[in-house]
Structure 1
Amino acid sequence: MAEANIDIHVLDEIMNRTISSVEQSKEKIFDIAENAHKERNHISLELEALKTEIERVIRQTDELDLKARQARQKLAAISRNFRQYSETDIREAYEEASQMQIQLSLSRDKELRLRQRRDELERRHRSILQTIEKSENLIAQMGSVLNYLQGDLKKVGIALESAQQQQLLGIQIIQAQEEERKRVARDIHDGPAQSMANVTLRSEIVERMLNQNRIDEAKVELRLLKELTRASLVDVRKIIFDLRPMALDDLGLVPTLRKYLEEYQKRHGIGAKLTLLTPERRLQNSIEVAVFRLIQESLNNTAKHAQARNVEVRLEFKPHVVHFRVMDDGVGFDQSTRAERPQFGIMGMRERVKLLQGKMKIHSRPGKGTSVLFSIPLRIHDNKQTTP
């Protein structure tokens, strides 16, 4: 207990330092946001003034462009009839055209610089708006973090232990999923894939026979092909049934369980029996899937660990709950010892039952077999489609 108290004390100190650091960071981000707001206002005012100046310069440039064209036209007319004009008139016309061109060039340069400045300010304005948005989002997020961190720290130790268990369960689930994928891939490779390769080869043989007019031999090969294809279809249906028993949707839970127990008995050599304590009834599809998976996992555990000769599944349908039990006559186990080393299969079942807001109890003793009892409420699922 002393070690646990020290751990909590250390965690409290760490959390307090973390809260202080987050608060300081939040203040800095707030300052950044405030400065960004001020800069945005400044840029907005400068942009407005700049746009007004650009409009004025554009009008001025248009006027100078018109005057420059008129000056050039006048100079061209004088050049064509220079004998009618004095040297002073010619010089003045030339100077006027030159002056208009210089002013026009300067006005265009000024317009270009103003446009470039406007584009730069608009880019800065967009960047400032992004900075403001990010900083405000960060402030809101850090406020949420502070609210979370400043909550009750008394349960930190329990939360950490639960998180470790959840992480362990997550890792084991991933491993189990990978093992399941390997098993399915191996079943497909050893079964349907090999059969399909054989079908392809035999199809080529039949094609050659037909080309050589060996009709009788081709008929024999076609009959073999039909048998091979039928066997492949059986293999594929077995794999599909393991992944998701389609009979659940069509026939319901009880017929699917009967079929599964028949296959289970053939596969593992364990006597398997289904007992209905009440009349059969259909449940919501998601509940039937969940019940089937829980029974399936319990039976898998029996096959792997129990060394049982017989296993029995009992089902009882009540108005608002379904009870079911999986019992075997295997070697059993010491529950106090097993609690120290929780098995993935049991942890997975408990998580599934928890999602369904149900109950799960295990009774076992060395040499006395194992019984797993489940109770899944039905009324809370009447208006929900929950598939655990």
Structure 2
Amino acid sequence: MKSGNKELDDIIKDMVSTVTNSKDEIFQIGEDSRGEYDKLHQELESIKHQVVGLIDKGDEIERKVRSSRLRLSQVSKQFRQYSEEDIRKVYEQTHGLQMDLSMTREKEKQLRERRDEIEMRLRNLDATIERAEALSGKISVVLNYLTEDFKNVTQTLQSAKEKQEFGLQIIEAQEEERRRLSREIHDGPAQSLANVMLRSDLVERIFDERGAEEALVEMRNVRKLVRSALYDVRRIIYDLRPMALDDLGLIPTLKKYLATIEEYNKLQINFTSLGRERRLESKYEVAIFRLIQEAVQNAVKHAEADSIDVKVELRNEKTRIVIKDDGKGFDPEVKKDKSFGLMGMRERVDMVNGELHIQSSPGQGTIVTIELPLNE
């Protein structure tokens, strides 16, 4: 049995290594795409200015051509009053202006074609960046299961029944995470990027019909939509695994996370930290962060709260967490189908031998109280 356990641990380590390498490669693809996007965007801005300049130059040359043609017509009608040299000069001037106009219009056409090519490439890069961000997020979920939920899994799986139940729980949690990611991406960045595609197709039409100034205004609006979509994608990935938790610790990461949620959802979140701020074991920091994250997300999405109070009290032997919201509340005694959020919270609390209490009733908000022992 020990040999089998060791083999399973080795397999999991290999899986973690492979998935980590894949995540790094996908991240590099996203970064390379962002770098190319920035370069193309700068070139696009330069081309737009050049097009505007060529349009003005072409219009000016066109006015000169009309004036020169009129002069040539007058000279032709009254050729007896002009010398052959005068007639030749007027003709050559008119011909030269027509050549300049033709070259200017041709250069403008080439720049327009390059502009259209760059805009198409930017749209493709947006799609590539979006896919890379989405894949990176999904891989982060897989790594989370492999490094946290599967860590030393053989120590807790003592029977075939336990293994089967554990596997079913993981599959169920994975499917729920995929559904959550799918909903967030569909409702957030996917909608924004679809809007970007529609709005970007209008830019050239606006340029032709209303002029360069209004087209530039529309491009700026499209740029804002792209920024918003990228913000949503990065927020989703941050929710999956904030790197600041490893670098800064629990309290600073919570402050940053709650500030982001407060700003993005336009609500009020009051955070209070009591006790000596210090680093905890990784399993406790991850557990506390995930529990607060799940409770806050429930308050935002399901309870539709306007105000949330989060209090974390770090004592020597245990920590006490209270999340209170003014949302629509619910009846804790009534079990809902697929209530994975609360089920996941209870399982995570049980894993660290803690206690979870939920006080709520319809229309009265919700208070989630969590107590975890710190066996340091």
The TM-score bracket by the shorter chain reads 0.3 to 0.5
The structure whose Rg is larger is 1
